[in-house]
Structure 1
Amino acid sequence: MHYLESPTRNLFFTGKGGVGKTSMACATAVRLADRGRRVLLVSTDPASNLDEVLGVTLSNKPTSVPAVDNLSAMNIDPEQAAAEYRERMVGPYRDVLPEAAVQSMEEQFSGSCTVEIAAFDEFARLLGDENATADFDHIVFDTAPTGHTLRLLTLPSAWSGFMDENTSGTSCLGPLAGLQKQQAIYHSTVESLGDSSRTTLVLVTRPEASTLREADRTSDELRELGVENQALVINGTFEARDKSDPIANAMEQRCKEALMAMPSGLAQLQRTVVPLAPHGLVGIDALRLLGRTEPNGEMARNEIAGEERVSILEALPASALIDQLATQQHGVILTMGKGGVGKTTIAAAVAVALAERGLKVHLSTTDPAAHVSATLAAEELSGLTISRIDPAEVTEAYRQEVLRTAGDGLDEQGRALLEEDLRSPCTEEIAVFRAFADAVAEGEDGFVVLDTAPTGHTILLLDSALAYHREVSRQTNEVPESVRELLPRLRDSDFTRVLVVTLPESTPVHEAQRLQQDLRRAEIEPFAWVVNQSLSPLVVKDRILVGRQQNEEPYLREVFTQHAKQAVIIPWQLDPPIGIEGLRELTADKASC
């Protein structure tokens, strides 16, 4: 790992969901700690799985990792941070102001903006206030998937700029007095991000065309933010050991082609290449082995006993799942799961299969990092339409609508206050949420297949339905019908079908389990699980792939026996599932047996 030759104090790991940011961040933190450096490992991802990887229960305070001297870790939990932030703002007034006034203040701090600023408040304290981390030599940030990370990194400028320009003393967060004292830390955070002597941004990617393009875009956007000190980790490269294995050969060839077509900007960065691991990267021992490619003795067996593969026989054929979805003739199908599990691909495959059955289908996404049109390779299919909820577009449309409606009749000062309010960073969250509700409403007239954002963001988006009325009424005094009907539609199993997408690995399966629990708390019952990119249905000979195939079995068994009412297994594809024909292969009968 070249970036560890002269490591800076702050190390950020970012990249598209599922590329291995957590594994790389954890392995880096362990190696630095093993050198005797005092390290704090921090997750800013609302869907963090640091606890599972490190084998320790974490909170929003530094916790020592027993298996590694000198290493502490923590999660910045957005909801918990919001609750603590809200209490800091409201608590001092509980016995001073009337109860009605206190309740009004609590209302002001109940929106999505409070969650955003509270989580950032913690982040800024760690990065911008060195006194808060004086006990550590290095801070390693395991950040959220690309879209969320970029938003997090732009928040120092967004929030400090908003406060500098705001003249009314109020915002979507209520009074700004509680934020003004933080400005010095926010400005220090901006400086730290752009200081190459203090901060390194490690872009993690996989040897796949889409993730390399995503990393290249991220790199450019970070440079625009002033973050110049960047390093590149290409995780999961593969070279076939057994040339008689067609799966191994195809995997090697796909890897080589992607690397040869690497964008020129990425090719300029200092690069670390990490081979595909034959085992799961959970536990300190596995993290210390990161980069080794030889399976251990237990993983070197050449076959899996028949009784251990029984879960494959229990899988629902992919075509049968499509048949079940098609029976309702209209409604919403949501693909949900951890970033990088293939939600976009599965959503596109489902949309293609339904359209080929003669049904009207609209495919869209609420994930700013997803590219459904690229998955379809710009091909067209009768009955299928495609769109993307573009944050910039829907935010501007929302601003103009609010100014046209709520701003109508206001005097000059009132309109200025409204425009100021609409410049707050949370306006985008409101606009995207409303666009999501509008997309769901379209399911009344046909099928809408929504490729949703990674798990944590998706749940925050769904949860915000309850707070949305308060947020919108503050600006417009109106709530669209699509928003009023959203939760009833999502809870209607005859209208909304949720497909939980996962990979046959520890972290994605357990993340999907937590997602299912969150959905059930919201009274939304998943329809089926889709286990994507599995080697288990295939015949493999290469010892690395045999090791990975064996590693899948306990997680497949867990899905079928503990979590899913019904599940489909989609095997790893010899050809990339791009374009109509490639997507059609995913839902063919042979794809799940």
Structure 2
Amino acid sequence: MYQSFNPKTFLQTRFLFFTGKGGVGKTSTACATAIHLADEGKKVLLVSTDPASNLQDVLEVELTNSPKPVPNIENLHASNIDPEEAAEMYREKVVGPYRNKLPKAAIKSMEEQLSGACTVEMAAFDEFSSIISNPAVSSRYDHVVFDTAPTGHTLRLLQLPTAWNEFLGESTHGASCLGPLSGLQEKKERYEQTVESLSDKDKTTLILITRPETASLYEANRSALELKEIGIRNQMLIVNGLLQTYLSDDKVSTAFYQRQQEALKGFPDGLKQLVVYSLPFVSYSLTGIDNLRYLFKQYTLPARIDPQSQHESIQLPGLNSLVNHFSDNQTRVIFTMGKGGVGKTTIASSIAVGLVEKGHKVHLTTTDPAAHLAYTFSNKVDHEKLSISSINPKDELIAYKEEVLSQASESLNDEGLAYLREDLDSPCTEEIAVFRAFAEQVAKCDDEIVVIDTAPTGHTLLLLDSAEEYHKELSRSTGEVPDSVRELLPRLRNPKETSVVIVTLAETTPVLEAERLQKDLLRANIKPGWWIINQSLHATGTLDPVLAGRAKTESEWIERVRDELAESTAIIPWISEEKIGYTKLKEYIVN
């Protein structure tokens, strides 16, 4: 249907920017592309700018912020920009020169301005832009391959330079989380240069990755249009994981193939303007150098797995067991968390529907910038006990700024208001506004069960970790801290009130990422109660050689989740249709 993707033939620019909805395979595709180009004799730098990076898992090598050679590949270097580490270095770079020169109170004020979650994003972008604008990179590497964050974060990352340029161009007081205005002109020029490079079709190619699935294609279309609006127009699309043939006497194989083909029939108009390529659904895990080399050499695929050689099926309870648990224990706040693309929105929606069917009043909401609840419910709610909302960052920002300025106008003079208004124009204010809305949604659990479909892993952690910074910022701006914010962390840490559900796929990267998420949550004294293994081919018993090969690779990860990581585990088989609407979602929780 589509021409097979070959990096050597189709990628000519120096900067190659892979992006797409979480879980579509952009890391594996970016890694395979970098390896292929290096094998062809090109000098390549592979960089991850994802807060929840899994680059090291795919390459099976430990990485740092600084590029290092990838073993057994002569021309390939790789680096993983750790946002937290970059933020720490960034803070010290800004504050360090003023230590012992300014009063302690001034230093403390600067550190507080740089303590917010947005500073982490800004630091990651600072690293990203330093690579793009560095002449040494142009002279040393033929290609720089960027494995970027899930779509919502990527759009935010790319939009930051425009926002900061406007802010810095108008700022006169220096009130921003970037720190003192002095010395920022150099960064402003670098950011402008970065945007210029990203918009230059002779320098940058944007490679959108999608799965042949309706929601994934929808997200790719939205991304393509929004990226065009900020000037990045040299785009191509890769449909990843396309099943080439199917086994007609195997229901799962036939349904898998037909579902993909049906999704492609609804190809969005915006994507039809792009050149489209494809990559096959393969029977093996796309981790490790050898397996990654196979991806573009379809004629040398490993021997297909004999389905008769599969391990005995691993038996685990379904989603209904989890719903019964929450209903019986009167759990008030339920989060679905995990790597982007593992099905958090569908699982959150199904849990909400299941609890409504148990007679509970439920509010379902999302803090994900790329919210999909409207799509999941076909823009309507079919039960009086279920309500749905989403936290729109732009709307929350407007409301927050109006409220702060209104309260401050009674106590500040014109100069003070001008300073505050300038401070509120900083992009970091959006994080504060969203966090306040998040706290207010959680507070609803006094009257109903609140099910929260959270953002992809990195953003979620930044959101949760911003509690103390939000306290400081809100009290500084308004002198008040709402009860919803003050009570939030104790509520999240109370297992009798709150439960975190970690959603994963039975694959290397999603499980390792979920394991890291769980460790971070445990450090914050939040203990996940359930793990859900979603869309499992192993649980279907398919006999298709390619699908059975992939199903066999799932076994070790299912066992690891069950035996080592999860307190309680449920599994959901791969299903032949996308569950859209209240009635269809009920099928997830039927025994």
Following TM superposition, by how much is the alpha carbon of 1:294 offset from its aligned partner in structure 2, in angstroms? 7.8
Which position in structure 1 is the counterpart of 2:263? Answer: 258
Aligned to 1:151: 156
The answer for unaligned runs of 5 or more in structure 2 is none
CA distance in 1, matches of 2:242, 2:68: 33
1:150 maps to a residue whose letter is L
1:468, 1:277 → 2: CA distance?
A: 45
Q: Could you tell me how far apart the structure 2 residues matched to 1:385 and 1:240 are?
A: 42
Q: CA deviation at 1:3?
A: 5.7
Q: Residue in 1 aligned with 2:337?
A: 336
Contact 2:208 / 2:238 at 8 angstroms: preserved in 1? yes
Aligned to 1:538: 540
Bigger CA drift: 278-287 or 162-171? 162-171
Partner of 1:104: 109
Q: Residues of 2 paired with 1:329 and 1:294: CA distance?
A: 54
Q: What whole-Å deviation, never above 9, does each CA across 1:206-253 have from its counterpart, x for those lacking one? A: 101111111111111111111110010000111443110111111111
Distance (whole Å) between structure 2 residues aligned to residue 8 and residue 20 of structure 1:
21
1:473 to 467, 472, 475: 475
Q: Contact 1:275–1:293 (CA<8 Å) still a contact in 2?
A: no
2:274 is aligned with 1:272: no
Give the AA of the match of 1:416: A
1:575 positional shift = 2.0
Structure 2 counterparts to residues 294-373 of structure 1, below 5 A: 296-297=302-303, 299-306=305-312, 309=313, 312-313=314-315, 315-329=316-330, 331-373=332-374
User: What's the CA shift for 1:336?
Assistant: 0.1
Q: Report what 2:140 is aligned to.
A: 135
Q: Does the 8 A contact of 2:24 with 2:240 survive in 1?
A: yes
**In 1, Cα distance between equivalents of 2:413 and 2:512:** 54
Match of 1:285 in 2: 290
For residue 463 of structure 1, what is the aligned residue in structure 2?
A: 465
Shift of 1:540: 1.0
1:61 to 46, 57, 66: 66
**Residues 34-70 of structure 1, C-alpha deviations (whole Å, 9 max, x = no match):** 1111111111100001111111100111011012111
Unmatched 5+ stretches in structure 1? none
Tell me the distance in 1 between the aligned counterparts of 2:360 and 2:307: 47
- Cα distance, 1:132 vs structure 2: 4.8
SS state at 2:540 partner: coil
CA contact (8 A) 1:19 1:340 kept: yes
CA distance in 1, matches of 2:71, 2:253: 38
Q: Secondary structure at the match of 1:7?
A: coil
Counterpart secondary structure, 1:333:
strand
Q: Deviations over 1:382-427 (max 9, x none)?
A: 3101111111111111111111112334322222222211111111
2:7–2:36 CA contact under 8 A, matched in 1: no
In structure 1, how many angstroms separate the alpha carbons of the residues matched to 2:349 and 2:300?
Answer: 36
Specify whether residues 344 and 294 from structure 1 end up closer, same or farther in structure 2 by C-alpha distance, changes over 3 A only: farther
* 1:405-484 pair list within 5 angstroms: 405-484=407-486
Paired residues for 1:186-265 under 5 Å? 186-265=191-270
After superposition, the C-alpha distances for 1:307-350 in whole angstroms (9 at most, x for unaligned) are xx3xx22x234222111101243511000000000000000000
Structure 1 residues 379, 385: closer, same or farther in 2, change over 3 A? closer
Instruction: Letter of the 2:492 partner, please give it.
Output: L
Is residue 2:11 matched to residue 1:9?
no
**Is residue 203–residue 231 contact of structure 1 (8 Å, CA) maintained in 2?**
yes
- What SS does the corresponding residue of 1:466 show, helix, strand or coil? helix
Q: Are residue 93 (structure 1) and residue 98 (structure 2) matched?
A: yes
Matched with 2:509 is 507
Alignment-derived partner of residue 520 in structure 2: 518
Q: Quick one: distance in 1 between partners of 2:35 and 2:360?
A: 52
1:76 lines up with 2:78 in the alignment = no
Structure 2 counterpart of 1:516, which letter? Answer: Q
TM-score (norm: length of structure 1): 0.95
Deviates more, 1:537-546 or 1:336-345: 537-546
Output one character per residue of 1:433-483: Cα deviation in whole Å (capped at 9) or x when no partner: 111111111112110000000001101111111221122233222221111
Aligned to 1:399: 401
CA distance in structure 2 between the partners assigned to 1:352 and 1:469 by the alignment: 34
Q: Percent identity?
A: 53
8 A Cα contact 1:129 1:188, kept in partner: no
2:259–2:576 CA contact under 8 A, matched in 1: no
Total equivalences in the alignment: 584
In the TM superposition, what are the counterparts of 1:538-577 in structure 2 within 5 Å?
538-577=540-579
Question: Which piece of structure 1 moves more, 383-392 or 240-249?
Answer: 240-249
Separation in 1, partners of 2:226, 2:301: 38
TM-score (norm. length: structure 2): 0.96
Shift of 1:520: 0.2
Whether contact under 8 Å (2:311, 2:555) holds in the other structure is no
Instruction: Give the distance between the partners of 2:299 and 2:222, measured in 1 at CA.
Output: 30
For the aligned residue pairs, the C-alpha RMSD in angstroms reads: 1.6
Which of 358, 369, 380 aligns to 2:382? It is 380
